[in-house]
Amino acid sequence: MLLALWASCVLAQDPVLERRVTSLSHELRCLVCQNQTLADSNAPLAIDLRNQIREQLAAGKSERDVVDFMVARYGDFVLYRPPLKGSTILLWAGPFAFVVVGFTLLVRVVRRRRIAAPQLSDAERSRAAKLLE
Amino acid sequence: MKRALWTLGIFVALVALLAVGLRLDPREVPSPLIGKPAPPFELPLLTEPDKRFSQKDMLGKVWIMNVWASWCPPCLVEHPVVTRIAQSGLAPVVGLNYKDARDDALPWLKRNGNPYQLIVFDANGRIGIDYGVYGVPETYVIDRKGVIRYKHIGPLNADVVKQKVEPLVQQLNSGG
């Protein structure tokens, strides 16, 4: 226990490592408070997982390895940026689809309005001009 | 008229979508561990620190692993359910005492009863991480080959046991 504490103090003194730990923990979700990243959360599990990231990076593993480690245990949900694949295509393409559909509807409505604008006959037009004088 | 129908249709679809969304439990994250071998561990027992237990010791048996801690109120809520499973002889129930202290866990068992066949002591929660534990209590059903077949997050209740755990264990035991 003391050894672990001492070890984390020593490790914490390496600013490059700390920066890597922090940037990686911004990419991973805390599963206890699901709308926070591991970096933002102070849940005990988030602290454990941050230590886990630090240990693994210090042991020479790459960011990719650590992400794979987390995904193998907690699933894709642990990634703050979901991967692009079949089951998430709606998530990624949905907003663009909404924009396209919305824009198409807008264009159609505007066009219809323009056509529906009242067409005046010449007689009506001259009457209107007289009234305005 | 046509437009009103369209609007109504979109409205109903939206309500249906939101209704489904509200019923989903965001805490139920599908575990990637289902269908995978139970992560290996070798841990001391809670009750006898000099004895050790490994998931390998259960090969050939269908068993249930229940992750609990004395600091976790929902664990107390599900304790009667876990006790009932163990007493029914459905399957051996192994406890994984997660991030707890012996001085807290042992009196807790004394107060509430110890239904477990044995309890391993995961003091720093490292094995919990391997099992993807994030909301104690959690319960795993592991088959004869040591493969995780089911995971329940949060307190077990009689419905879950009857509808999921019991049928699955029986099916696994009859060679499924």
Q: Could you give the ipTM of this predicted complex? A: 0.79
How large is the average pLDDT for residues A30-59?
89
Q: Answer yes or no: is B13 within a domain.
A: no
Q: Looking at the partner chain, which of B30, B99, B125 has a beta carbon nearest the beta carbon of A75?
A: B30
* Domain housing A72: 2-78
How large is the average pLDDT for residues B156-163?
92
Residues of B in contact with A71 (CB under 8 A): 32
**CATH assignment of the domain containing B98:** 3.40.30.10
* In a shared domain, residues A60 and A96: no
Sign of CA dihedral A49, B32, B135, B121: negative
* In a shared domain, residues A74 and A50: yes
Say which residues have a Cβ less than 8 Å from residue A78's Cβ, sequence separation at least 6: A28, A29, A31, A70, A71
* In a shared domain, residues A17 and A49: yes
Min distance B81 CA to chain A CA atoms (Å): 24
Q: Answer yes or no: is B25 within a domain.
A: no
* In a shared domain, residues A8 and A67: yes
* In a shared domain, residues A56 and A91: no
Instruction: Tell me the pLDDT tens digit for each residue of B91-145.
Output: 999 999 999 999 999 999 999 999 999 999 999 999 999 999 988 899 999 999 9
Instruction: Tell me the pLDDT tens digit for each residue of A74-90.
Output: 988 888 888 888 778 88
Chain centre distance of CA B168: 14
* In a shared domain, residues A10 and A68: yes
How many structural domains compose chain B? 1
* Domain housing B98: 33-173
Sign of CA dihedral B73, B79, B81, B85: positive
Say which residues have a Cβ less than 8 Å from residue A86's Cβ, sequence separation at least 6: none
Question: Quick check: helix, strand or coil at residue B81?
Answer: helix
* In a shared domain, residues A91 and A64: no
How many structural domains compose chain A? 2
Q: Mark which of A54, A78, A102 sits at the end of a domain.
A: A78
Min distance B165 CA to chain A CA atoms (Å): 21
* In a shared domain, residues A69 and A93: no
Please tell me the distance from the alpha carbon of residue A25 to that of residue A29, in angstroms, as a whole number. Answer: 8
Residues of B in contact with A35 (CB under 8 A): none
* In a shared domain, residues A64 and A93: no
* In a shared domain, residues A10 and A39: yes
pTM > 0.80: no
Residues of A in contact with B124 (CB under 8 A): 4, 48
Q: Answer yes or no: is B109 within a domain.
A: yes
**A31 and B CB contact within 8 Å:** yes
* In a shared domain, residues A61 and A99: no
**CATH assignment of the domain containing A54:** 1.10.8.640
Q: Looking at the partner chain, which of B29, B129, B135 has a beta carbon nearest the beta carbon of A77?
A: B29
* In a shared domain, residues A58 and A103: no
Q: What share of chain A is helix, strand, coil (3-state, %, to 5)?
A: 70, 5, 25
Min distance B87 CA to chain A CA atoms (Å): 31
Residue B45 has pLDDT above 90, yes or no: yes
Task: List C-alpha distances in Å: B155 to B79, B138, B161.
Answer: 8, 7, 11
- pLDDT of A11 reads 52
